[in-house]
Amino acid sequence: MVQNTGKLTLYNTLGRETRTFEPLAEGRVGFYGCGPTVYNYAHIGNLRAYVTHDILTRTLRRMGYDVTHVMNITDVGHLSGDNDEGDDKVLKSAEERGKSVLEIADFYTKAFFNDTERMNIERPTVVCKATEHVGEMIDLIKRIEANGYTYLSGGNLYFDVGKFPAYGELSPRNDQKARSRVKEDPNKRNPQDFVLWFTRSKFEDHALAWDSPWGRGYPGWHIECSAMSIRYLGEQFDIHAGGIDHVSIHHTNEIAQSEAATGKRPWVNFWVHNEFLIQDKGKMSKSSGGFITLRSLMDAGYDPLDYRYFLLGGHYRSQLQFSWESLETAKNARRSLMERIRVLGAGSGGRRGSGARGLSEKANAHLAAFNRALEDDLSSPRALAELWGLIRDPDVEAGEALACAVDMDRVLGFGLAGEDRGGDDPEREKEIERLVAERTAAKKVKDYAKADGIRAILNEQGILLEDGPAGTRWHKIQGWTQGR
Ligand code: AMP
Ligand code: ZN
């Protein structure tokens, strides 16, 4: 039988090498992924970042880790240039639309989670808004200041990169050069210095302002991620992720602030960055106009999961070119996949291979190859190919193939578990309802042995029962752990 290593190897931007992942605390993973700036709809490039986070957390969970996934919502402080120039994105959007900042932030936060839900992206364990954590940001800045890394200039409090020798270790030299082309702010000692707290600035009329030891004002963008990740994950944690554009400024500055405040290095062990989704014109971005949203895909007749399928066909560290033709290809492939799952469902009479009796060697080999693909720096294209290999293998019995496909889907997230259920097989659904009713009747007459027996039979078939005040509900087990 093929053996899995059971270890995840990840490419770490810090050190630019592929390393075996080891968590700080056994069995647990602290993961922070930079969230959206809520001044507009997410474009499909942004969604690539969140699908990457999703594949990472789902893989870790499937491997048995207890993952705390934290995501911030940037509703203040992100200027149009990452390097402290331009307007506050949310404020500008509010002004243009004649709404309050909070209305805008609320509206686009909801729109964001609608999108992620439609794409089957699991909700993070903690979602935290910048505006609700300004106290934590001020406390962190105070620590940075007490340790001697700041200066006041032109009314703003700056981080002095000259005092932090390890500055920039996340970015290679050419990124650094690109940074130095940024327009000079005369208040800065070094062009790479950045604002921790704005008091006097171009935005005297900033709608959101807080009192602080440095005067009434608002935080810089980078400090929010340091403050909130430390608040929820501690002063050192396992993995931090974001798009590749965050490497040279945002994440570089986050590291400097956090390590300057706590004195602990490294702040984060693994840095994971997804490459861009590109169009003919180049990188898709909110500012370049003409960006495509999930809604545009849906209006053109695509299911959000077609787009998820399209994304998983590329490795997260390779640029991915979006085109309607390749989305069409993904759509057709996903349709065939669903069709195949339905055929397997019918072929097995809705019964999934039994966990108790174990898997055949063949099925096990497919699962092991699938695991290896994901454990090899989250290779979703290979994992997808392994799923296809499994469901097309004539030597794997239908129920077993179905069970393994559903298990693989715990990471792929195409909703395969529901595909062989319900409307497609009303007879089967009736049978489940009948057994559930029989169990309820048995419980009423205190025949617990019979009730437990029925539950065991259903569990064996991949049906989970939940007893609640409104009676017993049932659903298919989302996944199946045999074979790991
Ligand atoms: P934002 O809402 O602009 O802060 O960006 C949200 C996330 O999307 C960040 O992690 C960005 O790095 C990422 N991102 C932005 N543009 C793209 C793109 N074209 N392809 C993939 N990821 C992107
Ligand atoms: Zn961030």
Beta-strand relationship, 282-283 and 277-279: antiparallel
List pocket residues of ligand 1, CB cut-off 6 Å.
34, 36-37, 45-46, 48-49, 242-243, 245-246, 274, 276-277, 283-285
The domains of the chain are located at 9-274, 321-418, 426-476
Tell me whether domains 9-274 and 321-418 share a fold: no
CB 54 within 8 A of CB 121: yes
| Structure tokens belonging to residue 155 | 């009314």
Dist CA 31 CA 224 (whole Å): 16
Cα angle for residues 39, 249, 203 (degrees, 5° grid): 45
Closest residue (by CA) to atom 9 of ligand 1? 243
Query: Which of 47, 73, 245, 281 is the pocket-test mutation for ligand 1 (most atoms within 8 Å of CB)?
Result: 245
The per-residue pLDDT for 330 is 98
Dist CA 172 CA 435 (whole Å): 62
List the one residue out of 66, 258, 83, 114 whose CA is nearest residue 179: 83
Measured from the CA of 284, which atom of ligand 1 is nearest? 19
CB 386 within 8 A of CB 379: no
Q: What are the distances in angstroms from CA 252 to CA 139, 167, 452?
A: 20, 7, 56
Q: What are the distances in angstroms from CA 309 to CA 314, 333, 415?
A: 9, 8, 11
- Domain 321-418 in this protein, CATH class: mainly alpha
Q: What are the distances in angstroms from CA 1 to CA 207, 361, 366, 430?
A: 63, 6, 10, 39
Closest residue (by CA) to atom 12 of ligand 1? 243
Q: Which DSSP string corresponds to 255-297?
A: HHHHHHHH--S-SEEEEEEEPPEEETTEE--STTS----HHHH
Measured from the CA of 245, which atom of ligand 1 is nearest? 12
Residue 283 exposure: Cα atoms within 13 Å on the Cβ side: 11
pLDDT tens track of the chain, all 484 residues? Answer: 333 458 999 999 999 999 999 999 999 999 999 999 998 899 999 999 999 999 999 999 999 999 999 999 998 766 666 666 667 777 777 778 888 888 888 999 999 999 999 999 999 999 999 999 999 999 999 999 999 999 999 989 999 999 999 999 998 665 555 555 556 788 899 999 999 999 875 555 666 889 999 999 999 989 999 999 999 999 999 999 999 999 999 999 999 999 999 999 999 999 999 999 998 767 777 666 568 999 999 999 999 999 999 999 999 999 999 999 999 999 999 999 999 999 999 888 766 664 545 789 999 999 999 999 999 999 999 999 999 999 999 999 999 999 999 999 999 999 998 764 434 466 778 888 899 999 999 999 999 989 988 987 877 676 767 777 678 877 664 333 322 2
**In sequence order, which residues have a C-beta less than 8 Å from that of residue 26 and are 6 or more positions away?**
none
The per-residue pLDDT for 421 is 43
Q: Residue 481: helix, strand or coil by DSSP?
A: coil
pTM over 0.75: yes
Dist CA 321 CA 301 (whole Å): 20
Dist CA 255 CA 170 (whole Å): 9
The per-residue pLDDT for 375 is 98
For 9-274, CATH number? 3.40.50.620
The per-residue pLDDT for 93 is 79
Expressed in angstroms, the distance from the first to the final Cα of the chain is 12
The per-residue pLDDT for 97 is 80
Q: Which ligand sits nearest to residue 272's alpha carbon?
A: 1
Q: Tell me: cis bond preceding 266? Omega within 30 of 0 counts.
A: yes
Query: Which of 39, 43, 46, 104 is the pocket-test mutation for ligand 1 (most atoms within 8 Å of CB)?
Result: 46
Q: What are phi and psi of 466, to 5 degrees?
A: -125, 120
